[in-house]
């Protein structure tokens, strides 16, 4: 059907190509101080567990100084650690320990906006001119006093907030306490590059770039056009949010972004560092992914939201995504994830059985691109039901009950089944409650069961690491009308991959040639006799060409 371009084998300079990255949400990973909140020393304590999974890198969500209105994605000091997470020395210990275990360290850089408590904004909001006056996106009101245009915030309402000190509006694509930086000001770009350099000098190996397509806003502040109802979806915002009613041509996705990304890439190249950008767009996500990763002077990886959608992907969906990717990102590189800190856990979102969970884990390790695993998915954690009175996420509080926010995927990790807090904290109360239903999925329980999902993830990751064709080879889609089948090829290695992503048996055919089944530890079916291959529900067939 479609063939993606083959790439040269990865070297130390492109370790990221085909890498498996483990995302850590630090508030919920491990509490080392007994205050009910995870921290950096807790991460150090649990790094051997991550290394044993066989992944290449960790991505740590924000730990910078912050008033925590959006739990770290509102930064007030980019060069320091918030006391709730520890100190810079604790971060250095994370890097040192991770590197000793063979893990790369990627951190979450939030460049599109800051907290309103950041010193830059404290200065910028003043009426009198000062060095930070042009650090943010400011605009006069319309003659009738209303906001400059029709742009909307992802967190609800207008994207503009009135500032009485300046008698102007400022832009905020998220909370009103998260003002957007003015990337059209070259001094702002220089400041942000200096922040990236600060962390590179501390030994980080790369970045996850939050809302990478939000960096620039249209200087003319043109209104976004309406989006026809039949083109709306909930990839970037819940259906109850009118944000979905606009085509976001001017508040994000601006062409000027590429210039800044080239500057950032030039800096990173000096440190053999890599970045994965978050592309938040419901209509052009894959296309923007292709734009931002095309060539050696832009970002190494980006991810769009297609596999983070609420709809469980079927064979035809996977084929459609990769066909489009082949068209719009021929020279780019995707990073795939089924879950993260912003969406309901895919175990619940897609209603997966134990067999389906294993099948999708194997699929993730066979797809062309890099892969992200979100903490706890390897344990089969489900989306938690968090009572309204325990909610922390401002997004969920705003749109409750139609949209319950992101707290359900952010509850603490469960390490031990006997502890009321799952071994996460010694405190009687944790920042989000530990679901009692999660305790039976604790890591120690999974460790002692060779048939657990945890061990399946380890086997699937090891299988990927053992086959260069899966890490960096090309991908040719063969069929999707029943089972999903494709080949992965690198050099003289070719793997045939077949997945039944459904609840009924599916028929498919092997490509011409001699094939030897591999991946028996992942449930690969036996080589069929002459004729077609029958895959039972949620079964996988993997074979290498001989």
- Burial class of residue 167 in the structure, from the number of CB atoms within 10 Å of its CB (0-12 exposed, 13-18 middle, 19+ buried): exposed
DSSP H helical ranges for 125-185: none
CA distance 265 to 274: 8
- Burial class of residue 165 in the structure, from the number of CB atoms within 10 Å of its CB (0-12 exposed, 13-18 middle, 19+ buried): exposed
Residue 405 backbone zone (phi > 0: left; psi -120 to 50: alpha; other: beta): left
Q: According to the 3-state scheme, what is the secondary structure of 171-232? A: ECCCCCCCCEECCCCHHHHHHHHHHHHHHHHCCCCEEEECCHHHCCCCCCCCCCCECCHHHC
CA distance 213 to 254: 7
Find the catalytic residue in 90, 210, 281, 377: 210
Catalytic site includes residue 297: no
SS3 of 152, please? Answer: strand
- CA dihedral 191→192→197→202, nearest 10 degrees, is 110
Under 8 Å between Cβ of 276 and 209: yes
Residue 53 backbone zone (phi > 0: left; psi -120 to 50: alpha; other: beta): alpha
CB neighbours (10 Å) of residue 349?
Answer: 19
DSSP state of 37: S
CB neighbours (10 Å) of residue 242?
Answer: 10
- Burial class of residue 83 in the structure, from the number of CB atoms within 10 Å of its CB (0-12 exposed, 13-18 middle, 19+ buried): exposed
Specify the residue for token string 């999925």.
Answer: 441
Structure tokens at 495: 């793997």
Residue 93's contacts (CB-CB under 8 Å, 6 or more residues apart) are 40, 41, 44
Structure tokens at 488: 């992965």
CA distance 100 to 94: 10
Specify the residue for token string 């890099």.
Answer: 370
- Burial class of residue 102 in the structure, from the number of CB atoms within 10 Å of its CB (0-12 exposed, 13-18 middle, 19+ buried): exposed
CA distance 378 to 357: 9
Structure tokens at 158: 């207008």
Catalytic site includes residue 314: no
CA distance 367 to 383: 25
SS3 of 545, please? Answer: strand
Structure tokens at 90: 């604790």
Tell me whether strands 301-303 and 493-499 are parallel, antiparallel or unpaired.
Answer: unpaired
Find the catalytic residue in 278, 281, 342, 357: 278
Q: Indicate which residues carry an active-site annotation.
A: 210, 278
């Amino acid at each position: 059907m479609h063939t993606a371009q083959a790439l040269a084998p990865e070297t130390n300079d492109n370790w990221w190509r085909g890498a498996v990255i483990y995302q850590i949400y630090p508030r919920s990973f491990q509490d080392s101080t007994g205050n009910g909140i995870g921290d950096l020393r807790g991460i150090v304590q649990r790094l051997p567990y991550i290394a044993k999974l066989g992944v290449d890198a960790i991505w740590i969500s924000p730990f910078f100084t912050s008033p925590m209105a959006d739990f770290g994605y509102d930064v007030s000091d980019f060069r320091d650690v918030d006391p709730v997470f520890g100190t810079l020395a604790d971060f250095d210990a994370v890097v040192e320990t991770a590197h000793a275990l063979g893990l790369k360290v990627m951190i979450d850089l939030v460049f599109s906006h800051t907290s309103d408590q950041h010193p830059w904004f404290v200065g910028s909001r003043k009426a009198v001119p000062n060095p930070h006056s042009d650090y943010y996106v400011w605009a006069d009101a319309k003659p009738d006093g209303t906001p400059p245009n029709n742009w909307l915030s992802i967190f609800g309402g207008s994207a503009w907030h009135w500032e009485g000190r300046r008698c102007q509006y400022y832009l905020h694509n998220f909370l009103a306490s998260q003002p957007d930086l003015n990337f059209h000001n070259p001094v702002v770009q220089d400041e942000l590059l200096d922040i990236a350099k600060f962390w590179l000098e501390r030994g980080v190996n790369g970045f996850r770039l939050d809302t990478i397509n939000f960096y620039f806003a249209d200087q003319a502040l043109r209104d976004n056009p309406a989006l026809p109802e039949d083109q709306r979806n909930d990839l970037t915002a819940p259906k109850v949010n009118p944000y979905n009613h606009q085509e976001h041509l001017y508040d994000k996705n601006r062409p000027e972004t590429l210039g800044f990304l080239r500057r950032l890439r030039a800096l990173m190249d000096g440190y053999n560092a890599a970045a994965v950008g978050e592309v938040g767009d419901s209509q052009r996500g894959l296309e923007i992914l292709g734009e931002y990763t095309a060539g050696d002077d832009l970002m190494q990886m980006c991810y769009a939201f297609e596999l983070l959608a609420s709809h469980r992907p079927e064979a035809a969906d996977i084929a459609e995504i990769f066909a489009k990717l082949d068209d719009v990102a021929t020279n780019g590189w995707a990073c795939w994830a089924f879950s993260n800190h912003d969406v309901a856990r895919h175990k619940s979102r897609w209603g997966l059985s134990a067999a389906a969970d294993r099948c999708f884990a194997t699929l993730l390790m066979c797809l062309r691109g890099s892969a992200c695993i979100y903490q706890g998915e390897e344990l089969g954690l489900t989306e938690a039901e968090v009572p309204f009175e325990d909610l922390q996420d401002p997004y969920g509080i705003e749109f409750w009950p139609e949209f319950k926010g992101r707290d359900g995927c952010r509850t603490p990790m469960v390490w031990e089944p006997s502890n009321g807090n799952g071994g996460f904290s010694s405190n009687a109360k944790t920042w989000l409650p530990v679901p009692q239903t999660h305790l039976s999925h604790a890591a120690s329980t999974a460790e002692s069961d060779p048939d657990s999902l945890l061990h399946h993830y380890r086997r699937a990751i090891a299988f990927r690491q053992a086959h260069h064709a899966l890490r960096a080879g090309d991908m040719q889609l063969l069929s999707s009308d029943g089972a999903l089948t494709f080949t992965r090829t690198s050099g003289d290695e070719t793997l045939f991959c077949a997945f039944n992503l459904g609840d009924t048996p599916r028929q498919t055919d092997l490509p011409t040639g001699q094939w030897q089944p591999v991946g028996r530890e992942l449930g690969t079916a036996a080589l069929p006799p002459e004729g077609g291959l029958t895959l039972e529900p949620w079964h996988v067939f993997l074979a290498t060409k001989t």
